[in-house]
Structure formats: structure tokens, C-alpha cells
Amino acid sequence: MKNYGKQKRVLIFNDTLKVGVIENALERLVDEFHNEGVSVTIATSFDDCYSILNANIAMDCFMLTSQMTGQQADENDKFYQLIDKLNQRQQGVPVFLLAERKKITLAVSRELMSRVDEFAWLLEDTADFIVGRVVAAMRRYRDQLLPPLMAG
């Protein structure tokens, strides 16, 4: 596994390319990750994200942004492929779905719910709250992988 060191890493898949409120919320999230010393990689296309996962670079968390536009079957297929690729390389990496609560509760499938560890409400939760949950999940993930003296 390449690049597995002290710095925690998060990969965010965001192919929504929206501007405005959602993009601003995502920028605040990235800023908060940087404040916590977490390295952030954003993949803006399925192919980019798949290539990053295929490169076997150690990730501590994988975050998916959902458009929830009614094209759920296509979006879910992308998510399944990416999560499967991640799990081929690293088992147990926490997977978060970033979405709008109102839309996701109506549209999320049971299968997607089973593949995602946590949901975060991008427009309702604050960046520091989301990042706090993610960092805690990353710690738990690393603690289960590393010997006690190496964890942290």
C-alpha cells in the first residue's frame, strides 16, 4: 500500500460540478479538513476517481457527493463500482455519503445504504461537525489496522 503514513487522507468524489450553496459547503468542508491536517483529494469525474483508487494510494475515508436528481440508478452504479474498487484495495475504509437530507431520504436505495457507513447532510451540518465525524471514523479505521503503538 503506497503512502500509508501519519497524515490522514480523504478522497472525495464530486462530479456534480454545481456552483453556489452546495459548492460553497464543499469548499468549507475541504478547508476544515486542511485545518485538521487531513490531506484531501477531490476527483471530479468517475474515471479520475477510479484511477486514484486503482493507484493503490492509502485512503482513510472515501466520501461520495450525491446529486439526488432522479437519475439514481446511474449514480448508484457509479458509487457501487467505486466502493467495490476501494474494497479490493483496502477493506473497511469508512465511506460517507454527502447529500441533502430531504432528497436522500426519498431516493436512497437499500443496497446503497448497506454500502455506506455514514451519511452527512452537506447543507444542514456544519463543516466542523462533519469533519469531526470523519476524523473519528478514520481513527477507528486506523486503530483496527495498526498495532497499538502505531495507531493514532
| Mean pLDDT, range 34-49, rounded to an integer | 95
Q: What is the rounded average pLDDT for all residues in the chain?
A: 84
**CATH number, position 27:** 3.40.50.2300
| Mean pLDDT, range 76-84, rounded to an integer | 90
Asked if pLDDT for residue 73 goes beyond 80, the answer is no
Q: Is the pTM of this model over 0.95?
A: no
* Residue 76 located in a structural domain: yes
| Number of independent structural domains in the chain | 1
Q: Pick from 61, 60, 58, 40: which is nearest to 4 by CA?
A: 58
Banded pLDDT at 113 (limits 50, 70, 90):
confident
Buried b / exposed e along 133-147 (16+ C-beta atoms within 10 A): bbbebbeebbeebee
* Residue 151 located in a structural domain: no
| Mean pLDDT, range 77-97, rounded to an integer | 92
Residue span of the structural domain in which 82 resides? 9-143
